[in-house]
Amino acid sequence: MSERIKMEAEVPAELDHERLDQVAARLFPDFSRSRLQVWIKKGELLVDGKQLRPRDKVAAGALLAIQAEPEQAVSWQPEDIDLDILYEDEHILVLNKPAGLVVHPAAGHADGTLVNALLAHAPQMAQLPRGGIVHRLDMETSGIMVAAKSLLAHHDLVAQLQARTVKRQYTAVCIGVMTGGGTVDEPIGRHPRQRKKMAVLAAGGKPAITHYRVIRRFGHHTCISVSLETGRTHQIRVHMAHRHYPLVGDPVYGGRPRIPKGASDELVTALRQFPRQALHAQALGLFHPESGEAMEFECPLPADMQQLLATLEREDPANEHDAALY
Backbone φ and ψ for 157, nearest 5 degrees, come out as: -65, -40
Helix H or strand E encompassing 273 = helix 265-273
Q: Could you tell me where the beta strands, DSSP code E, fall in 29-151?
A: 45-47, 57-58, 63-68, 85-88, 92-97, 142-148
Residues 145, 131: contact at Cβ < 8 Å?
Answer: no
**Where are the strands (E) in the chain, listed by range?**
5-10, 18-19, 45-47, 57-58, 63-68, 85-88, 92-97, 142-148, 167-175, 182-185, 188-190, 198-200, 209-217, 221-228, 279-287, 294-298
Q: How far apart are CA 128 and CA 158, in angstroms?
A: 12
Contact 236, 172 (CB under 8 A): yes
DSSP assignment of 57-83: EE-TTPEEEEEEPPPP-TT--------
Q: Which active-site residues does the annotation give? A: 138
Using DSSP's 3-state secondary structure scheme, residue 200 falls into strand
> Which has the closest alpha carbon to 221: 257, 184, 185?
257
* Residue 149 near residue 122 (C-beta atoms within 8 A): yes
Kindly give, in sequence order, each residue whose CB lies less than 8 Å from that of residue 234, ignoring residues fewer than 6 positions away: 138, 188, 197, 198, 252, 253
